[in-house]
Amino acid sequence: MNEKTFPLSKKDLEDLIRRYPTPFYLYDEGGIRENARALNRAFGVFPGFLEHFAVKALPNPFILKILASEGFGADCSSYAELLLADMAGIRGEKIMFSSNETPAEEYGAARDLGAVINLDDFTHIEYLERHGGIPRLISCRYNPGPLKSGNRIIGNPQEAKYGFTRDQILRAYPLLSEKGARRFGLHTMVASNELSLDYHIETARMLFKLAVEIKEKTGVALEFINLGGGVGIPYKIEDRALDFQDLAKGIDALYRSIIVPGGLGSLGIRIEWGRAITGPYGWLVSTAIHVKHIYREYIGLDSCMADLMRPALYGAYHHITVAGKENAPHAKTYDVVGSLCENNDKFAIQRSLPRIEPGDIVIIHDGGAHGRAMGFNYNGKLRCGELLLRTDGSVVRIRRPETVEDYFATLDTGALKNFQEKL
């Protein structure tokens, strides 16, 4: 069991809403910092430990600055994400560039920032060589294919578009050495939102054995292994959070039994978690604006799937509470929906909840990762803003809501005035 809490009282939340109307995301700096420190404590046993926070999970430079101050780096996969890392003062080898189907200009931008380039494909060795050259430090992403069982979200590695095959990985390092690389990393990312301790430990075992094999077969001693992201969070009340300490201990045992005897004793450990860092410390706060009774009971919110897509995209569960009604009996069954002209714009389907009236504040939990970031503007929907609850109790707005001017910004309205509709 895990508890679903919210960091403000109903009164403080109402005051906040008077300043910043709903919908908005609220993030809790204190929660994020404590969590970051727990991770660093647990994984501090490994040489050169570094968490590259997956920027895509919460691409806001205010959050990245907080994480940077806890020692984190960044994991980027696009030009804009590289700029976000830079904006937050995360530079050089603290940036891991784990992209795929990467355009040459983005490799160029990563190189300019001194980021660690993590290649997604064997053919990119030659591609990168043609576009700027092979850097001294380089990493490769491994796809174990049939050697690793699948995970619900990413699916079977064999069907995943990412990474090098086993055979390609073994050929990659000698080829990269030939082309001038001198420092090497190995990466994988085979899971998403995975709460099983064993699954993550087995991923480490697979990579550790591969690192030793690479050394034996090619003579290349890796400098680091990047275990990727994919650590889950307990979205459901009955889920259990993964204990960082237990995970670090499990991986450490393998480090001692595989890496140390394999002669790779100074191998660095890196990860690129997103969800597990910020996920539980963000909430989408909305107001119930309509209650509709047809064949089912519907609660219409002032937010929609433009603000949070996970339920519509993956059928994902997000816990919902109503401010001031945390302990009220769950007397009703509702579909909690947004305003998009898409029938899958539902935050919850047939959810047992307290009776909700128009004006009630509805809090959607665990929106701190892959929440607002995934939003889009379909149907002319404007994405909400983001607020940060500081550790001193103050609240700062770290992103304003979108306006129609933002929505129209990509249109050339000047040309429209002179546009001749008849030719």
Least CB distance to ligand PLP at residue 275 (A): 4
Least CB distance to ligand PLP at residue 212 (A): 24
Q: Which stretch binds ligand PLP (CB under 6 A): 34-42, 51-59, 177-185, 289-297?
A: 51-59
Residue 149's SS3 state is coil
Closer to ligand PLP by Cβ: residue 207 or 276: 276
**Structure tokens of 56?**
């895509």
Least CB distance to ligand PLP at residue 185 (A): 13
Q: Is the dihedral of CA 135, 109, 140, 256 positive or negative?
A: positive
Residue type, 354: P
Closer to ligand PLP by Cβ: residue 75 or 223: 75
Please tell me what DSSP assigns to residue 258. I
Contact between 110 and 77 under an 8 Å Cβ cutoff? The reply is no
Among 28, 29, 51, 75, binds ligand PLP (CB under 6 A): 75
Distance of CA 367 to the CA centre of its chain: 11
Closer to ligand PLP by Cβ: residue 299 or 369: 369
Contact between 346 and 311 under an 8 Å Cβ cutoff? The reply is yes
Least CB distance to ligand PLP at residue 99 (A): 8
Per-residue binding letters, 212-241, with ligand PLP (x by CB under 6 A): ----------------xxxx----------
Closer to ligand PLP by Cβ: residue 117 or 276: 276
| Rounded Cα distance, 208 and 412, in Å | 54
Residues 6+ away with beta carbon under 8 Å from 1: 237, 238, 240
Residues 242-281 that bind ligand PLP (CB under 6 A): 272-276
| Rounded Cα distance, 157 and 153, in Å | 11
Closer to ligand PLP by Cβ: residue 278 or 321: 278
Least CB distance to ligand PLP at residue 57 (A): 5
Closer to ligand PLP by Cβ: residue 8 or 110: 110
Residues 87-106 that bind ligand PLP (CB under 6 A): 98
Among 369, 384, 389, 395, binds ligand PLP (CB under 6 A): 369
Closer to ligand PLP by Cβ: residue 148 or 346: 148
Q: Does 189 bind ligand PLP (CB under 6 A)?
A: yes
- Residues counted in the chain: 423
Q: Does 54 bind ligand PLP (CB under 6 A)?
A: yes
Among 20, 32, 56, 74, binds ligand PLP (CB under 6 A): 56
Contact between 71 and 77 under an 8 Å Cβ cutoff? The reply is no
Least CB distance to ligand PLP at residue 71 (A): 18
Helices and strands of the chain, counted as H and E runs: 13, 17
Tell me the angle at which helices 244-254 and 197-218 cross, rounded to the nearest 10 degrees. Answer: 30
Structure-token match 């999970």, residue found: 57
* Cα separation values, 401 from 152, 182, 328, 382, 384, Å: 33, 46, 32, 7, 4
Closer to ligand PLP by Cβ: residue 172 or 356: 172
Contact between 29 and 392 under an 8 Å Cβ cutoff? The reply is no
Least CB distance to ligand PLP at residue 93 (A): 16
| Rounded Cα distance, 65 and 49, in Å | 19
Least CB distance to ligand PLP at residue 68 (A): 17
Q: Does 57 bind ligand PLP (CB under 6 A)?
A: yes
Q: Does 81 bind ligand PLP (CB under 6 A)?
A: no
Which of 104, 149, 144, 145 lies closest to 124 in space, CA to CA?
104
Closer to ligand PLP by Cβ: residue 274 or 354: 274
* Cα separation values, 98 from 52, 115, 189, 379, 396, Å: 10, 10, 10, 32, 31
Contact between 222 and 182 under an 8 Å Cβ cutoff? The reply is no
Least CB distance to ligand PLP at residue 338 (A): 23
Least CB distance to ligand PLP at residue 187 (A): 8
Closer to ligand PLP by Cβ: residue 22 or 118: 118
The CA-CA-CA angle for residues 337, 312, 157, to 5°, reads 165
Q: Does 68 bind ligand PLP (CB under 6 A)?
A: no
Residues 301-360 that bind ligand PLP (CB under 6 A): none
**Contacts with ligand PLP, residue ranges (CB under 6 A):** 54, 56-57, 75, 98, 189, 192-193, 228-231, 272-276, 369
